[in-house]
Chains A and B, each alone.
Chain A
Amino acid sequence: MGWPKHSVSYRRPRSAVAVLDAEEYSEKIEALLLDGLRLFQLKMLGRSVLLKPNLVEDLPGPVNTNSALIGAAARCFLRLGAARVVIGEGPGHQRDTELVVQSAGLNPHLNQRRIEFVDLNRDELRRVKLKANYSVSFR
């Protein structure tokens, strides 16, 4: 294997984060998110965006990321110029992904143009060359 090609950075990584205050999951959340995303001055034109929410169980409750938030985020990225938004999830215990998506209330958002869902448990696997050699390859 030899030595790792990547060196370790001891500088603390810093991410840009916005904490937005919302009282409830409602239609208002889209405007709030859009204002929040604009703070980052993202260059979204023509880009593909992958949203990875937590969809765990076939329950409408808080175990799943609220569908109003997922839908609002997807529409915000489209409004900022993204070409498409893919929502990807592969539930770890509940095998019926369709049932989880239905129960989480995501279907109305997936009926909108340029918003699609990918089942990460079953979608195509591709070999990806890694930048580091800690693993030989990852699929």
Chain B
Amino acid sequence: MQTNVLTTFPAAGLLRQRELVSGGWSYLGSSQPALEATALAVMALSGQGREEAYSSGTAELLRLQREDGGWPAFAGDSEGSWTTALALCALNGSSGSISARERALEWLLRERGKEGHWFWRWKFKTADRNVRFDPDKYGWPWISSSASWVIPTAFSIVAIKQFTVCNRSEASENRIHLGVEMLLDRACVDGGWNSGNSVVYGVPLRAHVEATAIALLALQDEPRSELIQRSLAWLKKQAARVDSVSSLGWCILSLFVYQEPIEALKNRLVAIVGNGRDIRNNATLATGLLALKCGEMIHPFVVLR
């Protein structure tokens, strides 16, 4: 994999250069740190010979944690968001920051999709039946007070599974179980996941690559049901033809934990990423780097059994 080393290094250097003077990373050259970009960059620069950036990125993550334990989507936002799960995954990569991670866990255990409230469950069961799903099974929203979505739920499951691997409480077990149930309930008819639901107004929705890859990350240690196998097969087929850095990157990260071959995909990603300069979005650049480093570092979303 000599090509990988030679090619990822300049892209990693580029990501390092794009760190904001104030700390953290924005998506696209803004001066406002975005938590998704920052958390993914911290993961991508871990063990890349970029320890200074990793340390400053981690410090910025800790600085941006809210008093309630959550993280905002953007620095300065007035509420916690789905990025709390990503930040926790990033901090799970080291043994420190225990207090910050415990507060993040508490935030995640408190946060729930709107279906978690009895009134909304009742509404979805009786009056609003246009979307086919089981409201008793809820996960996590992008932002508070909204419904459960696939990607926030999947990242939250991974983050909680990682952090509580040696110390599962009843509360964390219950939320993991409920989140997994929600993902299985929302899977598309032909396998894979759309952004939130599977059938709307009687029409089956088609799966999305990123959502499927990330949902499968959350289910990596669950029993290999027929649904998971079908979704994995769908993702493998998509991975062979998708050409966007982010989707291909998430395919690689997901297929790796299912012990599927990824070398050909990585070689294709190397060619697409190049020196990274054409990738303006720092979250995308970091995802690409993480995928290219897959197998050469501890996988940031792996769940130990």
A-to-B contact residues, CB < 8 Å: 57-58, 93-96, 98-99, 102, 119, 122-125
Q: How many Å lie between the Cα of A40 and that of B32 in the bound state?
A: 39
Which of the candidate stretches B98-106, B228-236, B238-246, B297-305 sits at the interface with the other chain?
B238-246
In whole Å, how far is B304's beta carbon from the nearest beta carbon of chain A?
Answer: 27
CB distance from A48 to the nearest CB of B (A): 17
Q: Report the Cα distance A22→B193, complex, angstroms.
A: 37
Return the CB mask of B20-60 against A: 1 if under 8 Å, else 0: 00000011111110100000000000000000000000000
Contact indicator B27/A123 (Cβ below 8 Å): yes
- In the bound complex, residues from chain B placing their C-beta under 8 Å from that of A122 are 27-28, 34, 281, 283
Contact check, B28 vs A98: say whether CB atoms are below 8 A apart.
no
Tell me the B residues contacting A by CB distance below 8 Å: 26-32, 34, 74, 151, 194-196, 206, 208-211, 242-247, 281, 283-284
Q: What are 13 A-B residue pairs whose CB atoms fall within 8 Å in the complex? A: A58-B208, A93-B196, A95-B195, A95-B246, A96-B209, A98-B244, A99-B242, A99-B246, A119-B281, A122-B28, A122-B34, A124-B26, A124-B28
**Inter-subunit contact A99/B247 (CB<8 Å):** yes
Q: Is the CB of B247 within 8 A of A93?
A: no
Which A residues lie within 8 Å of B243 (CB)?
Answer: 102
Residues of chain A contacted by B242 (CB below 8 angstroms)? 99
Cβ–Cβ < 8 Å partners of A102 in chain B = 243-244
Expressed in whole angstroms, the minimum distance between the Cβ of B111 and any Cβ of chain A is: 20
Which of chain B's residues have a CB closer than 8 A to the CB of A58? Answer: 208-209
Which chain A residues border B31 with CB–CB below 8 Å? 124
Query: By the criterion CB–CB under 8 Å, are A124 and B30 in contact?
Result: yes
A123 near B194 with CB under 8 A, answer no
Shortest C-beta distance, A128 to chain B (Å), equals 15
A124 to B75, CA, bound (A): 12
CB pair A96 B244 closer than 8 Å: yes
How distant is the Cα of A124 from the Cα of B34 in the complex, in angstroms?
A: 10
Task: Select B210's contact among A57, A95, A125, beta carbons within 8 Å.
Answer: A95
* Contact B34–A94 (Cβ < 8 Å): no
Residues of B within 8 A of A98 (CB): 244-247, 281, 284
Task: List residues of chain A with CB within 8 A of the CB of B208.
Answer: 58, 93-96
Which residues of A lie under 8 Å from residue B206 when comparing CB positions?
57
Contact B32–A124 (Cβ < 8 Å): yes
Interfacial chain B residues near A119, Cβ < 8 Å:
27-28, 281
